[in-house]
Amino acid sequence: MQDLVRLFGYTHGLKRTFGVIALLSVVTALLNLAPPFVMKIVTDTIVAGLGTHAVNYTYIVGLVVMLLVISLVGTVIDNISGVMGDMLAERMRKQLSTRYYEHLLTLPQKYFDTEITGKIINRLNRAISDVTQFLQFFANNLLSMLLTVLISLGIMLWYSWPIAVFMLLLIPIFVYITAKTSVKWQKYEKRKNKHYDIASGRFGEVVSQMRLVKSFGSEQRELRGFDTRFAKMVGITKQQSTYWHEMNALRGVALSVIYALVFGTLFLQAASGTITIGEMVLLIALVQQISGPMQSMSFFIDRYQRAAANSKDYAEAMAEQPEVVDETGKVALDAQHASVQFNGVSFSYADKKQVLDNISFTIEAGKKLALVGESGGGKSTISNLLMQLYRPDSGYVRIGGVDIQTATQASVRAAIATVFQDASLFSGTIRENIAYGKPGASDDEIESAAKAANAYEFIAEFDKQFDTEIGERGIKLSGGQKQRIAIARALLKDGPILVLDEATSSLDSRSEAVVQDALDRLMHGRTVLIIAHRLSTIAHVDTIVTLRKGRVDEIGSPRELAKTGGIYAQLLELQAATTDKAQEKLAEFDMAA
């Protein structure tokens, strides 16, 4: 319940709407209680008239008209309240979704390194769907039903206190059974959600990498894994549903016993003259009025349990500590013609395994430095530290002599352009992807960047040219085309520092030549950090840093390191060899032949 209350706290500006709905609910509840009194008056009038053979038909017709008016007014108010409740739920959906997305964007990179994408998305979908459905039911029905029950019990107490006591007994019985049910039900729901998150997360991965799945003939294997997860969910649902309906049956038994006592008491009181026939009709109608809300209590409990269970996942995500970005007192970094320096940098991930140990090197302004080392040796971690995706455990990273921790994060990231091995494009148009690093770029700027990246020629061949939709992750483009779009994006951003997770290692020779030409143009005049995947492309860098087990092994020019017998020299020898063993060794260093 605490998580659900906290979830409502994430919404703003909805109190007035909720207050209007509450007022309409009060009116609806009062209107619902009017017909039983009219029926009492009609019944007593008819009984009295039958005794004297003087039934007042005009009076009875007037009461019938009154019933019609009450019904029509109640229908109008109920539907107005329903529209407002639906809008309230939709506005809440918008606010909760936006708040969740906003919070995700502030979380540190390490959060996304450990979370399944499907779980992040499902957490939002479950919470928003179930909480808004609960809110709709609460706003449109619950308050009116509660008022109907309370006022009806008060009227019963006035006319026949035994009836009121019997009906009042239902409340603690329902509360006890519900409290007992809720905890166990939510445990079942948590187990189901775990399997669903894994299954849907894998589903998303398969859909986004369908070519890989088909090329390995893994369709049936993926389907079996998906089916297995849902089969487990079906098994858990059976246990959950069986338990819930057992408890619901207990509620039904309690309701039946209480109603038997109520109707038996009413008939005996009417027969003995303790209450009039009209009062008996009134009380029966009120019992029926309460019966609806009591029967609906099962649905309310189900909605509440789902909302409470799934709001926990949402609340847990919202409780994650955001990336600390306190720009107060920090300087705006001027990275033009600036050097990059790593000094005594050590870093460990959340699992405490040390990745970098006392790393130190310098990239002079306008120079190119390549990192070479075994897979998992910390090359990508170094680039992530430079981009402030992580913070070093010790040591510092400086740009132009300024510790990046003392500079504003916005200025640090604005100074760095990136081209990764995976082009990382978004669905949308070519224009939108090139302009991603500079949203306000003019058409001329976008076109110039495309030309400099050797992308203009193939873009011009499309019917819609720059307005061509490229599909999810650029699926409609070839590898070389995607890389050239990524290079155009980096060119347009025009950051003085370039991080290059070598973009040619997975391309064919023709595409590699075109992309490499664009990369050379991109690197010109910039301070460049290259994560090396192909020795031929780093033969002309200014400096190579080799890494061994998270530490700097050697630093020098390609010519110098080729003579030392170290990692770089060994890789040159392996590249010249043609044996399978040599190729396997190259792969250990993320190197393509």
Residue 184 banded pLDDT, cuts 50, 70, 90? confident
Structure confidence at residue 326 (pLDDT): 62
Sign of CA dihedral 42, 46, 49, 54: positive
Structure confidence at residue 441 (pLDDT): 82
Structure confidence at residue 203 (pLDDT): 77
Residue 353 banded pLDDT, cuts 50, 70, 90? confident
Please compute the mean of the pLDDT values over residues 334-362 and round it to a whole number. 83
What stretch of H or E contains 357?
strand 354-363
Structural domains of the chain, ranges and CATH numbers in brackets? 2-319 (1.20.1560.10), 333-415+497-509+526-593 (3.40.50.300), 425-494 (3.40.50.300)
Q: What is the pLDDT of residues 465-488, one digit of tens each?
A: 888 887 776 677 777 788 888 888
Do 361 and 342 contact (CB within 8 A), yes or no?
yes
Sign of CA dihedral 116, 120, 121, 126: positive
Structure confidence at residue 51 (pLDDT): 59
What stretch of H or E contains 373?
strand 368-373
Sign of CA dihedral 263, 269, 273, 274: negative
Structure confidence at residue 322 (pLDDT): 74
% of the chain residues with pLDDT over 90: 0
Residue 514 banded pLDDT, cuts 50, 70, 90? confident
**Three-state secondary structure call for residue 501:** strand
What six digits make up the tokens of 540?
Answer: 């002309």
- CA–CA gap between residue 417 and residue 236 (Å, rounded): 49
The mean of the pLDDT values for the chain is 78
Please compute the mean of the pLDDT values over residues 382-407 and round it to a whole number. 85
Sign of CA dihedral 174, 175, 177, 181: positive
Q: Which residue has the higher pLDDT, 379 or 583?
A: 379
- CA–CA gap between residue 299 and residue 181 (Å, rounded): 14
DSSP single-letter state for residue 216: T
Lowest mean pLDDT among 52-56, 148-152, 410-414, 529-533: 52-56
Structure confidence at residue 437 (pLDDT): 77
- Check pLDDT > 70 for residue 400: yes
Sign of CA dihedral 50, 51, 56, 59: negative
Please compute the mean of the pLDDT values over residues 516-538 and round it to a whole number. 79
Please compute the mean of the pLDDT values over residues 560-584 and round it to a whole number. 75
Q: Which residue has the higher pLDDT, 192 or 57?
A: 192
Do 394 and 345 contact (CB within 8 A), yes or no?
yes
- Check pLDDT > 70 for residue 8: no
Structure confidence at residue 216 (pLDDT): 63
Q: Which of 524, 432, 442, 526 is nearest to 485 (CA)?
A: 432
Q: Which residue has the higher pLDDT, 350 or 239?
A: 239
Alpha carbon 504 to its chain centroid, in Å, reads 34
- CA–CA gap between residue 189 and residue 305 (Å, rounded): 9
Structure confidence at residue 589 (pLDDT): 64
542 DSSP β-pair partners: none
Q: Which residue has the higher pLDDT, 257 or 295?
A: 257
Structure confidence at residue 580 (pLDDT): 65
Please compute the mean of the pLDDT values over residues 209-232 and round it to a whole number. 76
- Check pLDDT > 70 for residue 215: no
Residue 60 banded pLDDT, cuts 50, 70, 90? confident
Do 380 and 553 contact (CB within 8 A), yes or no?
no
Structure confidence at residue 512 (pLDDT): 67
Lowest mean pLDDT among 5-9, 138-142, 337-341, 422-426: 5-9
- pTM > 0.75: yes or no: no
What stretch of H or E contains 442?
none
- CA–CA gap between residue 461 and residue 175 (Å, rounded): 69
Active site residue ranges = 502
